Amino acid sequence: MGMAQNKRTPPPSSSMILKLQSNTQGRDWAVGDIHGCFRQLSRLLKMAAFNPECDRLLSVGDMIDRGADSAAVLEWLAQPWFYAVRGNHEQLAIDSLLGDKQAEVRHVNNGGSWLLTLPAPQRQACLTAFQRLPYAIEVANADGGKIGVLHADCPDNDWEALASGLANGTLPESSRNVTLWSRERARNSRGGVVRGVDLLLVGHTPQTSATRFDNVLNLDTGAVYGGKLTLFCLNDFVELSLPSEDDALLGFHLHE
């Protein structure tokens, strides 16, 4: 389906950061928290004229829970043009599937009951896929800069320290939790510039529209809560959003 530069072997479970070279053949898009709204995402990609032969789609995490199509996450993660970081909901699913009963209850209470209804082989496939998700993605710019992608926030506003700690496995759990759970920047409407990246793309805390705090752009626009789903083009900084609506007409298909 995809061109050679978009093919990749899924990272092993130990790979906590994924570094991508600049996409010289097409466009890179990032999408905010999907939360099971994959049919809405299909329509949005149709609007964006997304080309799976040369374009790439990056997810800021929280692909699952609350929305009707959470189980479709495995099909999307199997696409060679789709890349994602883990969000707190994927982490809750991992902990639940590994037998943490407290995490299971918390996951179910936050929209994760769909996972328990899956056959055992599919639940195992979800565990494997989610464990492979990195905490961060780094995308090289054609001009030599870079854009970071993670779910919530960058600990200590230091991307290089984060990237190094993830790469060598020394990043403390407290810092990993910042990437998954922190809402301080969004709550305070400030947080300081994240050093080491031109732009950092995050989600986690819903906004009425894509909102920038210093060089951090929050793309979670509350699709699953009746808001909208937002795409952001890394090439020209164009934003494209689609409000929630009936999923009767689907335009973009995974296997085109």
- Beta strand pairing status for 136-140 and 146-149? antiparallel
Delimit the domains of the chain by residue range. 12-243
Closest CA to 18 of 48, 64, 53, 61: 61
pLDDT (0 to 100) of residue 15: 83
CATH 3.40.50.300 describes domain 12-243: no
pLDDT (0 to 100) of residue 3: 31
List beta partners, residue 57: 29, 82
Please write the tens of the pLDDT for every residue from 131-157: 999 999 999 998 889 999 999 999 999
Residues of the chain with pLDDT under 50: 1-14, 246-256
Q: Which residues, other chains included, contact 90 with Cβ-Cβ below 8 Å and sequence gap of 6+?
A: 61, 62, 63, 64, 130, 133
Q: State both tokens at 103.
A: 């995490």
151 classed as catalytic: no
Task: Please tell me which residue in 35, 89, 151, 204 is annotated as part of the active site.
Answer: 89
